[in-house]
Amino acid sequence: MDAFARFLVYGDSNTWGYQPGGGRLPLDAIFPSVAMTVPGCPTLVADGMNGRASVWEHELFPGELHGGATFAGILESNLPLQGLVLMLGTNDVMAPLNLAGSSIADNLIRMARLAKKRCGADTKVVFLSPPPLAPHGISDLCATGYGSADILGQNLAHDFKLAALEEGFLFLDGSKALAHMDAMDGYHMSQEGHRALGELLGHFLASLQ
């Protein structure tokens, strides 16, 4: 990999650094920044947005949060790129989307194909499965009408890995760093969680060189 390689990390509030109760982690504490402290990791450009999902269209979900539909413009604004890391899915499993992991993976495939078409066939694309929601987070969301336990409780790693292997993309399981989302709400990461995921991602990307 080129020493000046740049990867776009495209995600939701867990890429942005949201903390329950409001507020944001310092930029040097979010997982893409932590990853870049690992020797050999390429430059990472983080683009996280609170509430973003992988969908391309949905009549009950705000258009600006349709991560599939808005992806092309964000990709274009960050060129040139040698790679892409996609970490979406946490919002997709919540109401009103309630998506199965296979549907989320299909949305990621569309984004990945678009990136390869625009950036070149040798562009490295990583499907990073987010850590699963914590049990108390699932219970709280169910109690407030934000989803069903069977959908919220999915570990997206299985579907993301299958899709990546079938399409020739790369896969990294976020639960290898963090068994569950560890912030107090159960669906975001704490600063310690960001550190663990960042170190995992940094070593993975460094190994691609």
For the chain, the average pLDDT equals 94
The helix/strand/coil state of 69 is helix
- Report the distance separating Cα 183 and Cα 186, nearest Å: 6
Q: Which of these ranges, 16-25, 64-73, 111-120, has the smallest mean pLDDT?
A: 64-73
Domain boundaries, the chain: 6-90+108-177
Query: What local confidence, expressed as pLDDT, does residue 55 receive?
Result: 82
- Report the distance separating Cα 140 and Cα 39, nearest Å: 40
Task: Indicate the pTM of the whole model.
Answer: 0.95
| CATH architecture assignment, domain 6-90+108-177 | 3-Layer(aba) Sandwich (3.40)
- Per-residue pLDDT of 8-23, as tens digits, reads 999 999 999 999 988 9
Burial label for 150, CB within 10 Å (0-12, 13-18, 19+), is exposed
- Per-residue pLDDT of 153-187, as tens digits, reads 999 999 999 999 999 999 999 999 999 999 999 99
Q: Find out whether 196 and 131 touch, Cβ atoms under 8 Å.
A: no
Percent of the chain surpassing pLDDT 90: 89
